[in-house]
Each structure stands twice: as structure tokens, then as C-alpha cells.
């Protein structure tokens, strides 16, 4: 089946530093990738949608300069949290979709803690 | 705008009881998809089922069953003879259909925490 990986699975960083999270589709080409954020005991909120080779589309209220998304290839998308602050601590989940398929394949998530 | 409501924030049952998780959705689209996902404590989302808006047939998969009623905009999920391993957060989600017929971004409900105790 379609497998999506995320790296790292968890990361702790100091306030003010930047953190990059990778999302890879291991056995299929992902034309579209989605990034979600989930705060403790809350729902998943879509942050942005990225299509390979083009700029990401951010949801309302998500700062594009703070959450940099790059989808440079059909198997890799990255999310960089710039100048991270404690309020950015969250569980970040990516998903990938091939072509116009209805199905999104989710990665295992990355837990970010900013101290 | 799309919206998914899961009014039950937490449900506790004793093992072997049946439990139904409610999901009510709102959308202006005539073509859409509905999903249920399970999120165990590990955090990884587990896909359970997808339904498109033209398929109102109920579905049963082992101990799981789903009741889709377009008339009430509901897509409820029932676990029969619950087990401790069913303990997790369950999310209902809605996706509008893209022009090509595939899915688009998912709108998630707030989730229902299910606790199954011995």
C-alpha cells in the first residue's frame, strides 16, 4: 500500500531556531501534499496544500513566512518552522495524494516541542 | 463552507458494549466524500472508511458499521462488542470533490475520545 513517512518523528528545539520536517511518499508519486497541525486533544487543522513544483496554498490565518513549505519533487515535501516559539509546539501531520485520487495517505506525524 | 460536528467529546463504555459515534456534516457541494479515521495514542491516523455522497448504502466491516443518511446529513459509526483495543480518538472528516472527481482538502470534526474499559 501507499506509505508516507515523516522525519523526524519528534524534535525539541530552542525558541528562535528553525526546524525542518520532511514528508516523503515512499512508493508512489505525490502530486499533492497537505500539512496539518494538531494541538493536544484537538482536531487536525489544515495549514496548507502544496502541489509539486508550485507554491503552496495556505489556509486563512496561517503565516506563510513562518511556515515555509517546499514541494520540490513528487516524493518530498518539507515544512520549515522559522523562528519557532513555544506556541508552535504541536503535532504536525502530512498527507499525500497521487493524481486526482480521493484518498490521502497520512504520515505518522512529527511532534515538535519548542522550549 | 464545510463543517463537521462530532458532538460527543468523550465516551466511556465497558468492553463488549456497543457504541455509536455521531457525525453531522454541512456542505453546499452535491458531490463530496465522508471519512472516518482512528487515531490511537501513537498519533498515526488510521483510515477506516470512505463514502461518496451518491452511495447511501450502509456498510459493515467486522465489528464496525456505518450509517450514512443524507436526509439528516449524518454519517454515524457503530462499534459492536467493543474491545479495549478500540480505545482511541475517532475523527469524522469531509472532503469536497475536485473537478476531476477526486478528493480535495479534508475538513475534520473535533473528534470523539472513546475509552473502552474492562
pLDDT at site A72 = 83
Question: Strand pairing partners for A111?
Answer: A10, A91
pLDDT of residue A98: 84
Collect all residues of chain A within an 8 Å Cβ-Cβ radius of residue B52: 102
Report chain B's C-alpha Rg in angstroms.
Answer: 14
| Contact map slice: B 69-108 vs A, CB within 8 A | 91, 95, 97-98, 100-103, 105-108
Q: What local confidence, expressed as pLDDT, does residue B100 receive?
A: 54
**How many CB contacts within 8 angstroms connect chain A with chain B?**
56
Do A43 and B44 make contact, defined as CB atoms within 8 angstroms?
no
Provide the mean pLDDT of chain B: 92
Answer whether A93 touches B (CB < 8 Å): yes
* Cross-chain residue pair B102–A99, CB shorter than 8 Å: yes
3-state secondary structure of A15: coil
- The CA distance from B71 to the nearest CA of chain A, in Å, is 23
C-alpha cell at A43: 482536531
Contacts of B108 in chain A (CB under 8 A): 43-45
What does the pLDDT look like over A100-109, one tens digit per residue? 777 889 999 9
Do the Cβ atoms of A106 and B103 come within 8 Å?
no
Is A102 an 8 Å CB contact of chain B?
A: yes
Q: What is the pLDDT of residue A103?
A: 81
pLDDT at B66: 95
CA dist., res. B81 & res. B116, Å (int) = 10
Tens-digit pLDDT profile for residues B62-118: 999 999 999 999 999 999 999 999 999 999 999 987 655 555 788 999 999 999 999
B57 — pLDDT class (breaks 50, 70, 90)? confident
Amino acid at each position: 500500500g501507499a506509505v508516507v513517512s515523516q522525519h523526524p518523528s519528534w524534535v525539541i528545539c530552542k525558541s528562535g531556531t528553525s526546524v525542518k520536517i520532511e514528508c516523503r511518499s515512499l512508493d508512489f508519486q505525490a502530486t499533492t501534499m497537505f500539512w496539518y497541525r494538531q494541538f493536544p486533544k484537538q482536531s487536525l487543522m489544515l495549514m496548507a496544500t502544496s502541489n509539486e513544483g508550485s507554491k503552496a496554498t495556505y489556509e486563512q490565518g496561517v503565516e506563510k513566512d513562518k511556515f515555509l513549505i517546499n514541494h520540490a519533487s513528487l516524493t518530498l515535501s518539507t515544512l520549515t518552522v522559522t523562528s519557532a516559539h513555544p506556541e508552535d509546539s504541536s503535532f504536525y501531520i502530512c498527507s499525500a495524494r497521487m493524481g486526482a485520487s480521493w484518498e490521502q495517505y497520512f504520515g505518522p506525524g512529527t511532534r515538535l516541542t519548542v522550549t | 463552507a464545510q463543517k463537521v460536528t462530532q458532538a460527543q467529546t468523550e465516551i466511556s463504555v465497558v468492553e463488549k458494549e456497543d457504541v455509536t459515534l455521531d457525525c453531522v456534516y454541512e456542505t453546499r457541494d452535491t458531490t463530496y466524500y465522508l471519512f472516518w479515521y482512528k487515531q490511537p495514542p501513537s498519533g498515526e491516523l488510521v483510515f477506516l472508511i470512505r463514502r461518496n455522497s451518491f452511495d447511501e448504502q450502509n456498510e459493515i466491516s467486522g465489528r464496525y458499521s456505518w450509517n450514512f443518511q443524507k436526509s439528516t446529513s449524518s454519517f454515524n459509526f457503530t462499534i459492536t462488542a467493543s474491545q479495549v483495543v478500540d480505545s482511541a480518538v475517532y475523527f469524522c472528516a469531509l472532503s469536497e470533490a475536485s473537478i476531476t472527481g477526486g478528493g480535495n482538502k479534508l475538513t475534520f470534526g473535533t473528534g470523539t475520545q472513546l475509552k473502552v474499559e474492562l
